[in-house]
Every structure is written in structure tokens, then in C-alpha cells.
Chain A
Amino acid sequence: MKQELSYRDSVHRLGRVWMLSALAMMIAVPSVICIYYSAWPSAGGILKGFLSVAPIFWTVGVIEVFTYVPMLGTGGSYLGFVTGNLANLKVPCALNSMDRAGVQAGTEEGEVISTLAIATSSIVTTVIIALGVLLLSQIEPILESPVLQPAFENILPALFGALGVVFVSKNWKIAIAPLVVMIALFLLVPSLASAVGLMVPVGALIAIGAARILYKRNLL
């Protein structure tokens, strides 16, 4: 007689099927755009953009997997890593729910509560954003009015000004070197603006180098 799968094993099987299907669908989106509009961007352009994003976010992605999987449990992980917004939403939501229910992460009960919390949170988020987009698309002409254009021209300074405060204040000693080098570089060679993506790994190397030196001298 075939041995019955344990609950966890069955979640793993279900999770793998759903997650890999989700991956296929995510990749299908840009593919479908390319096919439908018969617009094939140059591989070089994609590679350049990819190189500026991947070193940071793939590293972060890998670390997130190792950090959050034990916290979220089996079902919670398969769902959480597909529905996203982990650090700012799903992880605190799951931890909070397990805490309130008085169950531990990693136990059978923790597994149930965590999965329920993440599933509920995902459903609520999806519904709110869908309704929001529906409403927003109605006021699109307002968003496109010329008065508002400077706002959209300044997304990046507004984003990084805010993020800068968060990260620099936490680690100002590590931040000084890459900040000085990067600001000097862009002041002296403004044409680098088109290659900002390639400057990202350079900035990261400088930051990590500076951090290593400070760390070795016990200055952090």
C-alpha cells in the first residue's frame, strides 16, 4: 500500500507546482508584450539593466529565502514568496498572528496560523490594489496634467532622498566613502548618467570595501 504523504510533504508538492507555475506566468508577461507588439528589445539593453539590478537584488533575494523560510513555515513560504511584499507586510503579519495565537513558528499549529495569515493578507492586498487601480484609472487625465509633470520627473531624487536617510542614518560610517565617490564622479563626469546601472556594483564594492576595513579595525 502506498504510504500517505505527510501534511508538510503534500504542502511542498502543492507549493512547488504553484510556485513554478507562477514563475512561468511572470516570465510570460514580458514575453507576451514582446510577441504581441512584435517589439524585441536589444539583449544588450536588458543585460545592462539586469547587471545594475541583479547583484543587489539577487543577493537580497537569496538572503531573504534563508531568513524568512524558517519564520514563515512551509505553506507560508510558498505563498509569501509568490505574493511578495515580504519585509514590509507578510513577515510582520505572520509573526504577529503566531504571537497572538500563542503558537511557535515551525510547529504544526504555527504552520496553520502562518499560512492563514499570509493567505488572508495576500487576498486583502490584491483586492485593495485592484480596486485602487480601477479608481485611479478613472482620474488618469488629472495625473497626466502638465502641472503635475515636475513631480513625475523627480521620482528618483524623491525616492532616494528618503531611502538615503533610512540607510545612511543606520550606517553612516559605511556610507561616507561610496557617497563621496559617487557624487564626485557624477559632478565631474555628468555623461555617466546613462550608465548609472553600472555604477551600482561599483558603489557596492566601495561600500563593502570600506565596511570591511572599518569592521577589521573594530570601528563599526
Chain B
Amino acid sequence: MEFNSNSGFMYVVVAVVIAFVLLQSVVFFIKAWKRGKELGMDKQALKKTVGSSALFTIAPAFAILLGVIALSNALGFPLPWLRLSVIGSLTYEATAAAAAATAVGSSLSQRITDPKTFAAIAWVMTLGIVPGLVLVPLFGKKIEKGISNIKGKDSKWGQIFLSGLFLGMISAFLGLVFAEVHTGLVGWIPVFVMFASALLMMVCGLIRKALDAKWIEDYALPISLLGGMALSIPITNLVMSLVG
């Protein structure tokens, strides 16, 4: 069977899972609505919750959609569609996909055409999100009762530990950006792009502060990511013309 990450088969597989999760949302919605009526809650208040949640969601949902575009070149549409509408987030999915691609000797810079590579990436992305789906059914009840508290006595160290984990991951990938520098000016392109994207993120931060524009938080990452990607086009062209 000829492999294509945008094949009808892929769309069907992904659509089935997404429909399943959509159905779950509907079932829980109905159950909660009925319960609200049982409790004698004001119907207007319930309706207001639905309306405001829907509004609240629109902006982040578009931000998530931008993530699908970023990953679509390497992975096609269906897989990023699934992973970003169910469970995932852009930070996780992009990192997991990149790590898996390099582990099997490929990269996200071109369309994955080898089904084995594609399957490996799909497996890694899937295995990475297992904990939530296992822990909530197992321990949800206990956690609710407040028996366990992972942060324990030293919650400040808990926070620092978590930041350390993220910084470790980020520094490894930022280091990777410098791996091609030894090849000359062309090898610096990723470094320039990294700085361009970092600059965009800083500008977003400044706008957030200066205008007290909280909305920009949702968009800062997609803006910087897609902005950095867009700027890589003139950067690449400029470097190529310099190198001749």
C-alpha cells in the first residue's frame, strides 16, 4: 500500500477518533446540564456558562489551528489534526514529533514519506500522553478527596524542579540549532531564525505589558513560531545570495 500522510485512509482513521471524543463531550454536557437542573440551578446561569465558554474558546482554537499548519508540511494534515484537537498542545506535539523524527534518523524539515518513520513518530507522540489517561481513572477519586499532594511540603522546590525539566529540554533543542554552524554561513541560518523568533516573542511580551493586552498570551507562541518561520524565507534568501 502506497503511503501518504494525507490519504483518505488517514483522514478516516483520525475522523473516527475525533468523532468519538466529540461524542464524549456531548454526553458529559448533557449529564452536567441535567444535574444542574436537578440541583435547581438557574437555567440562565447555565446558558451563560455555555455562551461565555464558547466565546472564550474561539481565539485559542485558532491558535491551535496555526499549530496544525506548522506541522502539516512534515506530517500531513490528519495526524496533527488529531493530536492538536485531542489531548495535545503545540509545545508537546511539536517537540515529540521532532524528537521522534531525529531518533529514527529523519527530520521535520521535509514531508515524511516513509511509513515506518511516520509510524514511529505517531507512536512516540501517542506514548507521551499516556499518563493523564491512566492516572485520572486510577487516582482521580483519591486526588479529589485531597489524600495525595505531589507538591508535598516543599512546593517552591517543586516549581523549580518543573522549570528545570523544561529548561533542560529547551536547552538541548537550542543547542541543536547550533549543530550546523561548522558548515559555514549557511549553517547559521537556523541560529538567525531562532533569534528572529525570540525577538518576536519579546515584542509580544512588551505589547502584553505596555498595553495590558492579555489576549496576546494565547497568540504569542503561534505568532512567534509562524513569524520566525516566515522570516526564515528572507533570511535564507539573503544568506544564499551572500554565499553566492
Contact = CB atoms under 8 A, between A and B. Distances in A.
Do A and B come together as binding partners?
A: yes
A126 B22 contact: yes
Contact of A151 (B3, B103, B232): B232
A169 B167 CA distance: 11
A115 B228 contact: no
Contacts, number: 577
Interface string A107-133: 011011101111111111110111011
B29 A30 contact: no
Given A50-B100, A101-B49, A151-B230, 14 more contacts: A36-B1, A38-B1, A45-B105, A46-B120, A75-B28, A81-B87, A101-B45, A115-B31, A116-B53, A144-B73, A153-B236, A154-B228, A196-B99, A207-B168
Given A96-B56, A136-B68, A49 B103 contact: yes
A80 B65 CA distance: 18
B36 to A, nearest CB: 4
Nearest to A180: B171
A58 B128 contact: yes
Contacts of A19: 133, 136-137
A58 B101 CA distance: 19
Q: Is the interface of A mostly helix, strand, loop or mixed?
A: helix
Interface string B86-130: 111101101110111111110011110011111111111011111
Contacts of B132: 61, 64-65, 81
A66 B139 CA distance: 9
B218 A88 contact: yes
Contacts of B58: 124, 128
22 contacts: A22-B86, A29-B122, A32-B13, A46-B104, A63-B158, A64-B132, A73-B144, A89-B61, A109-B39, A116-B33, A117-B49, A124-B54, A124-B57, A129-B65, A154-B229, A156-B190, A158-B196, A160-B174, A162-B225, A174-B160, A182-B172, A215-B157
A150 to B, nearest CB: 4
Interface residues of B, number: 162
B9 A36 contact: yes
Interface string A97-109: 1001100001011
Given A23-B134, A30-B119, A208-B161, A143 B69 contact: yes
Interface in A131-180: 132-133, 136-137, 140, 143-144, 147-148, 150-171, 174-175, 178-179
Contacts of A181: 171, 175
A15 B132 CA distance: 13
B209 to A, nearest CB: 12
A49 B225 contact: no
A167 B166 contact: yes
A79 B162 contact: no
A196 B102 contact: yes
Contact of A57 (B63, B73, B92): B92
Closest 3 pairs (CB-CB, A-B): A204-B168, A158-B228, A182-B175
Contacts of B72: 136, 140, 143
A206 B170 CA distance: 12
Contacts of B228: 154, 157-159, 161-162
